Structure 1
Amino acid sequence: MTTDTATDTATSLGERLADVWIELEDRLAEVPILRRLDEGTVTLHDYQRLLFNLRQQVVDGSPWISRAASNFDIEHFELRTAAIKHAQEEHRDYLMLERDYVAVGGSLDELRAGRKNLGSEALSGYMFTYADRPNPVGLLGAMYIIEGLGAQRAAGWAARFQEVLGLADSQVHFMRYHEVADGNHTGDLEAILTSDMISDDDADEIVRCAQVVARLYALQLEELDR
């Protein structure tokens, strides 16, 4: 791929992913728990429910990234390396969430005995299925959505929960941590998305995967406890 072609692909990809993000933002604005958070009517029970539901999917994060890494061939060595590094950095994230849940009065046993809601089932099922493909480059689109939410929205959600509910930093650690950690990840991701490793076909897969994951992530938040 020539330099000019790679630049054109990266520019187009960035614009298409930005459109997916705008659609996601519009959908999140209609999610009941996030609407209550914005309005200031959210309750402690709402926050507990959110953590409970997120935990069941967060546990699967590192495993699907690891599975994707195992399916990149030697010609995609840099992507495999990045995926392995990412999986290693995230495989204990759920423990932070568990500590936050217990810190706001939740039962650790009940949390660990919980099951995924409808949206989480769909999201995890899609991620593992896609990760089983040979060279699953499209999952960069999934990471664009998931890491983007951590980098751009998690800290704001944490601050608002603290403002409305009077929570301590130790009770929103999971969300606050991801502002920094996912901010670093999005920087690494941007470097890949703007490199000459991404072909036009790859870009199409990345955008499609981002669209699916954006819809399923919102569904996970819409279907709390179902």
Structure 2
Amino acid sequence: MTTAETVEGYRPPEPEQISLLARLADVWTEFETRLAEVPILRALADGEVTVADYQRLLHNLRQQVVDGSLWIARAASNFDMDHFELRSAAISHALEEHRDHLLLERDYVAVGGSLEALRAGRKNIGSQALSGYMFHQASQPNPVGCLGAMFIIEGLGAQKAAAWAQQFQDVLGLADNQVHFMTYHQEADAEHTGKLDAILTSGAIDDEAADAIVSCARVVARLYAMQLTELDEI
């Protein structure tokens, strides 16, 4: 017990008194713990993945990647003029994201996958839950909470994707053109997270918005881990 906690009348700080980035950092730490238990990522870390595993991962990710720019665009359309800067940021982000699935498709074909089969794929149960939740969130008036989803998803690209790509290359002997989707996102998502952090620390985020952002981040972190766990489970 700290000295502060022994002082008579001490009360822990309310959530809104803790910085938003600190609260999101706690969500991220929990997310990393969940990711460490995902079977395919555990196999990757242990050097036991196969090319078929990598194909399965890309196949399952593609269905959610396609939806990403769509729910961001929907969120943009639901910001009013009082949230003009957030609307502009969402529009720009959707534009940058809407071709990402093409990078993934090229990687999938480069490791022997069928483009026709990939495009005919269905969302696994985690992807269904994630997309359903995000379209619901994005359809709300002024869906500021969606910034929490971006924190998780963009953070994944910026902090994890390149390392995963390198591990797949080391274990499977893959060429750069077979992991381009992941390596591309290290740089692109690092830029996105920088812009996102600027928004999260701006005066545009009040206490109510901060609570919505943290809540959305927490839900998305769990659903994303489910998506990676429930590969091919539809």
| Same fold by TM-score greater than 0.5 | yes
Gaps of 5+ in 1: 1-7
SS in 1 for 2:144: coil
Q: Secondary structure of 2:122's match?
A: coil
Question: Of residues 87, 95, 119 in structure 1, which corresponds to 2:94?
Answer: 87
For 1:43-62, what aligned pairs fall within 5 Å after superposition?
A: 43-62=50-69
Q: Match for residue 65 of structure 1?
A: 72
Counterpart position of 1:39: 46
**Cα distance change of structure 1 residues 10 and 81 upon mapping to structure 2, 3 Å threshold:** farther
Residue of structure 1 equivalent to 2:227: 220
Give yes or no for the alignment of 1:187 onto 2:165: no
Q: Could you tell me the TM-score, scaled by structure 1's length?
A: 0.95
Which residue in the other structure is 1:5 paired with? none
Checking the alignment, whether the CA contact within 8 Å between 1:10 and 1:195 is kept in structure 2 is no
| Whole-angstrom CA distance in 1 between matches of 2:143 and 2:172 | 41
1:183 and 1:83 map into 2 onto residues whose CA distance is 16
Question: Which consecutive aligned stretches of 4+ in structure 1 deviate over 4 angstroms post-superposition?
Answer: 8-11
1:166 and 2:173 aligned = yes
Aligned to 1:97: 104
Number of the residue aligned with 2:152:
145
Residue 155 of structure 1 pairs with residue 159 of structure 2: no
Q: What amino acid is the match of 1:91?
A: H
Q: What is the CA distance between 1:9 and its match in structure 2?
A: 5.8
Question: Residue deviations 1:108-127, cap 9 Å, x none?
Answer: 00000000000000000000
Which residue pairs with 1:26 in the alignment? 33
Matched-pair contact (CA < 8 Å) for 2:108–2:178: yes
- Which residue of 108, 115, 123 maps to 1:116? 123
Higher Rg: 2
Letter in 1 for 2:75: A
Q: Give secondary structure in 1 for the equivalent of 2:19.
A: helix
Contact 2:24 2:217 in 1 (8 A): yes
Task: Go from structure 1 to structure 2 and tell me whether the alpha carbon gap of 1:10 and 1:112 turns closer, same or farther (over 3 Å shift).
Answer: farther
What is the total number of aligned residue pairs between the two structures?
Answer: 219
The one-character-per-residue Cα deviations of 1:3-52 (angstroms, maximum 9, x if unpaired) are xxxxx969621111000000000000000000000000011000000000
2:16–2:211 CA contact under 8 A, matched in 1? no
Deviation per residue, 1:151-196 (Å, 9 max, x gap):
0000000000000000000000000000000000000000000000
TM-score by length of 2: 0.92
* Residue 215 of structure 2: aligned partner: 208
Write the mapping of 1:123-134 to structure 2, written as runs, cut at 5 A: 123-134=130-141
Check whether the contact 1:20–1:210 (CA below 8 A) recurs between aligned residues.
yes
Instruction: Give CA deviations for 1:125-166 in whole Å, capped at 9, x if unaligned.
Output: 000010000000000000000000000000000000000000
**Structure 2 residue ranges without an equivalent (≥5):** 1-14
Identity of aligned residues (%): 73
CA distance in 2, matches of 1:158, 1:83: 27
Distance 1:76 1:218 in 2: 31
